[in-house]
Amino acid sequence: MTKEFKRTVELNSDHEIGGFSCGVPELDAWLRDLALRNQKENTSRTFVLADGENVVAFYCLAAANVERELLPSSKQRDSPRDVPLISLGRLAVAIEFQGLGLGALLVRDAIARSLAATEHVAAKFMRVDAKDDDVAKFYERFGFTADPRNPRALYLKFPKR
Ligand SMILES: CC(C)(COP(=O)(O)OP(=O)(O)OC[C@H]1O[C@@H](n2cnc3c(N)ncnc32)[C@H](O)[C@@H]1OP(=O)(O)O)[C@@H](O)C(=O)NCCC(=O)NCCS
């Protein structure tokens, strides 16, 4: 199954998103109502896996920053007051495609795209906000570590140059 879905592409207006359902209505609504608008306004980029034009999975990325004091204490060293990062935003797989490795494919793809972006715009971490403790465990599989004060906020440090 995953053989057919190797690469993400940027969401565009030809993609079919109206019927997307991942089991979390807020995420479905975000894709349907806001993803393309945010794309145009440069407030997030959405990348999708599509079966033809039919979107079966997506995530979004945006530039962000965080006050050093709000980072886990282990990550505050050698940082300016405002620390640049890349935010991995909404990420979801359509219900009928869950459990097939597509979520893992999306996270790896998001890390690869973010690393490529840091060639031109510096960022010290990727950050993701997990919607529950279970999903936080899912992100830990890819090297994200949870903030002990807020276990649903997870960080992945980019390698030093
Ligand atoms: C969470 C989600 C993205 C996972 O995608 P998926 O395609 O089902 O996951 P994968 O098949 O790639 O799973 C990869 C591994 O993570 C594990 N995993 C999947 N979902 C998990 C979860 N919710 N919690 C913990 N581990 C999970 C799988 O068991 C699998 O482990 P294995 O490699 O040992 O078999 C998907 O279930 C989803 O879209 N859920 C609804 C929306 C959501 O919760 N999004 C996260 C918003 S923060």
- Please write the tens of the pLDDT for every residue from 113-155: 999 999 999 999 999 999 999 999 999 999 999 999 999 999 9
Q: For residue 133, what are its two tokens?
A: 């403790």
Q: How are beta strands 125-129 and 150-157 bridged, if at all?
A: antiparallel
Whole-number Å distance, alpha carbon 161 to ligand 1 midpoint, is: 31
Dist CA 55 CA 6 (whole Å): 14
pTM of the predicted model, to two decimals? Answer: 0.96
With the CA atoms of 161, 47, 135 and 23 taken in that order, what torsion angle do they form, in degrees rounded to the nearest 10?
180
- Please write the tens of the pLDDT for every residue from 18-73: 999 999 999 999 999 999 999 999 999 999 999 999 999 999 999 999 999 999 99
Catalytic-labelled residue, pool 139, 153, 154, 156: 139
- Which residue ranges have their beta carbon within 6 Å of ligand 1? 22-24, 27, 91-93, 98-104, 130-131, 134-135, 137-138, 141
**Residues 6 or more apart in contact with residue 59 via CB below 8 angstroms:** 8, 46, 47, 88, 89, 90, 91, 92, 106, 107, 109, 110
pLDDT at 2: 46
Which ligand 1 atom lies nearest to the CA of residue 128? 48
Architecture of the domain made up of 2-157: 3-Layer(aba) Sandwich (3.40)
